[in-house]
């Protein structure tokens, strides 16, 4: 069948209009929705395992992730395409989105853990079934590239999602305690992200995990954020978080100071940074210093001090062994002077 130039242009215009209408529909629902809290974790629940971005290199690592879920007292249910690999992606976009949608729709699955970050979560945002997710609220936990999913799902459903450990690595004692504090035995007000205990002795002090005030003060708001690189890619799309009066938390890995500077400057140029109530800076690890650079501290101070918004650096969020669990969408209080981040509500029922 021969397609004329007019027919081709008409078909292309129809497709473009369909995408635009879809984007407008999402944008219309992008205001802050009523929060939805998933069920807390209890022994014997079934946890689904998904790879929405990249996959681990070897299958045995996936079996280890299944064993990790079992070690926490749950049954593990691998997604249909858990073992799929397509270059740097864990299978096709259609497969990965179908796995995530199916896990939310499956009445036998109580919570969902991501096995790995990497790259590719943002490619799924148009293919997620937000109505199904809203109707079947469950814990979704991961970090790094999973930031795109956590914020988009929270934005378009109101479901609180969780920036925390992945199933592809072991939990440290610290991470296990924080995970239990947020997802298993939550209380009305819970402090999260404080550095793990350190025993000071003559000539030995804590050097790695220190909380540094950037701008003093305190603030309250709903938590949004995660990996800085991923957050920047959401700007200008129907999936960017609501920054107004939020507590923004940020972390990153393998980004040198100039790169962090560029991304923070981009957020600043959008006018979003001035609209948040407070800023929590996690870990910026493997930042590849050289002799011709501002330090990471200088970059962070240069961008946040002029804003005058309460800002605390060094909270245990990010690509570190000891990481906390941060509920995206939960109300929290940042007190820079007390060096604390406190959840003002339980993020699970």
pLDDT at 269 over 50: yes
Q: Report pLDDT for 191.
A: 97
Q: Give the residue from 195, 193, 210 showing the smallest Cα distance to 317.
A: 193
Q: Identify whether the C-beta of residue 325 lies closer than 8 Å to the C-beta of residue 141.
A: yes
Q: Report pLDDT for 288.
A: 76
Tokens 């497709």 locate to: 15
Residue span(s) of the chain under CATH 3.50.30.60 come to 190-197+210-343
> What percent of the chain shows pLDDT beyond 70?
91
Exposed / middle / buried, residue 94 (Cβ in 10 Å: 0-12, 13-18, 19+)? exposed
Q: Report pLDDT for 26.
A: 52
Of the residues 144, 152, 175, 229, only one is catalytic, namely 144
pLDDT at 267 over 90: yes
Is 345 annotated as catalytic? no
Residue span(s) of the chain under CATH 3.40.50.10740 come to 46-170
What single DSSP character describes residue 197?
A: P
pLDDT at 31 over 90: no
Q: Report pLDDT for 99.
A: 98
Per-residue model confidence as pLDDT tens digits over 89-133: 999 999 999 999 999 999 999 999 999 999 999 999 999 999 999
Fold of 190-197+210-343: Glucose Oxidase; domain 1 (3.50.30)
Q: Report pLDDT for 340.
A: 98
Calculate the alpha carbon distances from 310 to 241, 249, 272, 278 in Å: 19, 12, 15, 5
The alpha carbon of 201 is separated from its chain's Cα centroid by a whole number of angstroms, namely: 36
Query: How many C-beta atoms surround the C-beta of residue 216 within 10 A?
Result: 12
Is 259 annotated as catalytic? no
Q: Report pLDDT for 200.
A: 96
What's the average model confidence in pLDDT over 200-217? Answer: 97
Per-residue model confidence as pLDDT tens digits over 44-89: 999 999 999 999 999 999 999 999 999 999 999 999 999 999 999 9
Confidence of residue 32 (pLDDT cuts 50, 70, 90): confident
Per-residue model confidence as pLDDT tens digits over 286-335: 887 777 789 999 999 999 999 999 999 999 999 999 999 999 999 999 99
Of the residues 121, 163, 251, 255, only one is catalytic, namely 251
Is 319 annotated as catalytic? yes
Assess if CATH 3.30.300.30 describes domain 46-170.
no
What average pLDDT does the chain have?
A: 92
């Amino acid at each position: 069948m021969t397609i004329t130039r007019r027919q081709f242009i008409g078909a292309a215009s129809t497709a473009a209009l369909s995408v635009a209408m879809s984007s407008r529909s999402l944008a219309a629902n992008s205001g802050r929705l009523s929060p939805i809290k998933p069920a807390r974790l209890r022994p014997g629940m079934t946890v689904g395992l998904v790879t929405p971005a990249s996959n681990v290199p070897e299958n045995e690592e996936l079996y280890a992730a299944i064993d990790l879920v079992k070690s926490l007292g749950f049954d593990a249910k691998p997604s249909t395409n858990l073992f799929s690999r397509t270059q740097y992606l864990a299978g096709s976009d259609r497969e990965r989105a179908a796995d995530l949608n199916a896990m939310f729709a499956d009445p036998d699955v109580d919570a969902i853990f991501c096995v790995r970050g990497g790259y590719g979560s943002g490619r799924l945002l148009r293919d997620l079934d937000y109505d199904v997710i809203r109707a079947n609220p469950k814990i979704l936990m991961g970090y790094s590239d999973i930031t795109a999913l956590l914020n988009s799902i929270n934005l378009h459903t109101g479901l609180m999602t969780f920036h925390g450990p992945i199933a592809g690595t072991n939990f440290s004692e610290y991470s296990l305690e924080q995970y239990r504090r947020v997802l298993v035995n939550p209380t009305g007000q819970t402090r999260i992200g404080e550095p793990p205990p350190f025993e000071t002795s003559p000539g030995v002090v804590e050097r790695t995990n220190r909380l540094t005030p950037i701008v003093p003060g305190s603030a309250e708001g709903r938590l949004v954020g995660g990996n800085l690189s991923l957050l920047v890619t959401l700007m200008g799309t129907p999936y960017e978080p609501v920054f107004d009066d939020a507590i923004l938390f940020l972390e990153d890995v393998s980004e040198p100071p100039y790169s962090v500077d560029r991304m923070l400057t981009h957020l600043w140029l959008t006018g979003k940074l001035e609209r948040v109530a407070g800023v929590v800076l996690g870990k910026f690890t493997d930042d590849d210093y050289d002799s011709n650079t501002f330090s990471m501290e200088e970059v962070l101070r240069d961008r946040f001090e002029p804003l005058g918004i309460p800002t605390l650096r060094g909270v245990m969020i990010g690509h570190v062994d000891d990481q906390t669990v941060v509920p995206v969408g939960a109300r929290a209080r940042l007190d820079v002077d007390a060096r604390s981040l406190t959840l003002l509500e339980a993020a699970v029922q």
